Amino acid sequence: MKRIGILGGGIAGLSAAWSLEKARRAGQEIEYRLYEAAGRLGGVIASETVDGCVVEAGPDSFLTEKAAAAQLCREIGLGDDLLGSNDAERKTYIVVGKRLIPLPDGLMFMVPTRLVPTALSPLFSLRTKLQMAREFLFPPQPATGDESVAEMTRRHFGQETVDRLVSPLLAGVYGGDADELSVRAVLARMAQMEQKHRSLTRAMLAARRQRGRSKTATPPLFTTLRGGMSQMVDAIAAQLPPEWVHLSTEVHAIDRVERARRAAQREPTGWVVETPFGPERFDALILALPAWGSASLLRPIDHPLAEALSGVPYSSSITVTLGYEIGRLLSLPSGFGFLVPATENHSLLACTFVHAKFAGRVPVGKGLLRCFLGGSRNDELLDQSDARLTVIVLKELEQILGLKAPPSFVRIHRSRQAMAQYGVGHLDRVQLIRDRIAELPGIALAGNAYQGIGVPDCIRTGQEAAASALRAGHVTAVAAGTR
Ligand X SMILES: Cc1cc2nc3c(=O)[nH]c(=O)nc-3n(C[C@H](O)[C@H](O)[C@H](O)COP(=O)(O)OP(=O)(O)OC[C@H]3O[C@@H](n4cnc5c(N)ncnc54)[C@H](O)[C@@H]3O)c2cc1C
Residues engaged in binding ligand X (CB under 6 A):
7-13, 35-38, 43-45, 58-62, 250-251, 288-290, 293, 317, 319, 415, 418-419, 447-448, 453-455, 458
Closest distance between ligand X and the C-beta of residue 212, in Å? 27
Q: Are 271 and 254 in contact (CB under 8 A)?
A: yes
- Least distance in angstroms from the C-beta of 42 to ligand X: 7
Q: What is the smallest separation between the CB atom of 8 and ligand X, expressed in angstroms?
A: 3
**What string of H, E and C letters represents the secondary structure of 439-462?**
CCCCEEECCCCCCCCCHHHHHHHH
Q: What is the DSSP letter of 407?
A: P
User: Which lies closer to ligand X via its Cβ, residue 132 or residue 445?
Assistant: 445
Q: Closer to ligand X by CB, 10 or 323: give it.
A: 10
Identify whether the C-beta of residue 170 lies closer than 8 Å to the C-beta of residue 176: yes
- Measured from the CB atom, the residue of 13 and 335 that comes closer to ligand X is 13
Q: Do 18 and 239 touch, CB atoms closer than 8 A? A: yes
Supply the minimum distance, in Å, between the C-beta of residue 374 and ligand X.
9
Nearer to ligand X, 132 or 286 (CB): 286
Cβ distance to ligand X smaller for residue 60 or 283 = 60
What is the closest distance, in whole angstroms, from the C-beta atom of residue 285 to ligand X in the complex? 11
Question: CB 450 → ligand X: shortest distance, Å?
Answer: 9
| Distance, CA of 306 to CA of 299 (rounded, Å) | 5
Least distance in Å: CB of 366 to ligand X?
Answer: 21
Q: Compute φ and ψ for 35, nearest 5 degrees.
A: -110, 125
Locate all alpha helices (DSSP H) within 5-105, ordered by sequence.
11-25, 68-75
Nearer Cβ to ligand X, position 332 or 419?
A: 419
Q: For ligand X, which is the closer residue by CB, 72 or 203?
A: 72
Rg (CA), the chain: 24
Cβ closest to ligand X, residue 18 vs residue 124: 18
| Residue among 251 and 403 whose Cβ is closer to ligand X | 251
CA separation, residue 359 to residues 73, 84, 86 (Å): 19, 9, 7
* Smallest separation, CB 58 to ligand X (Å): 4
Closest CB to ligand X among 40 and 134?
40
Phi, psi of 54 (to 5 degrees): -80, 120
Dist CA 480 CA 477 (whole Å): 9
Residues 6+ apart with CB under 8 A from 79: 73
Minimum CB distance to ligand X, residue 60 (Å): 5
Nearer to ligand X, 139 or 293 (CB): 293
Q: How far is the CB of 10 from ligand X (least distance, A)?
A: 2
Q: DSSP letters along 128-159, please?
A: HHHHHHHHHHSPPPPPSS--BHHHHHHHHH-H
411-441 in b/e burial notation, b at 16+ Cβ within 10 A?
A: bbbbbebbbbbbbbebbebbebbeebbeebb
3-state secondary structure of 269: coil
Nearer to ligand X (CB atom), residue 112 or residue 313: 313
Nearest approach, Cβ of residue 325 and ligand X (Å)? 26
Kind of pairing between the strands at 284-287 and 2-7: parallel
* Nearest distance in Å: CB 72, ligand X: 13
Instruction: Return the bridge partners of 352, or none.
Output: 337, 370
Q: Dmax of the chain from CA atoms?
A: 77
Spatial CA neighbour of 187 closest among 166, 157, 218, 201: 166
User: CB atoms < 10 A from the CB of 363, how many?
Assistant: 13
Q: In angstroms, rounded to a whole number, what is the distance separating the alpha carbons of residues 117 and 119?
A: 6
- Rounded-to-integer distance, Cα 52 and Cα 68, Å: 29
Handedness of CA 308, 309, 310, 316 (dihedral sign): positive
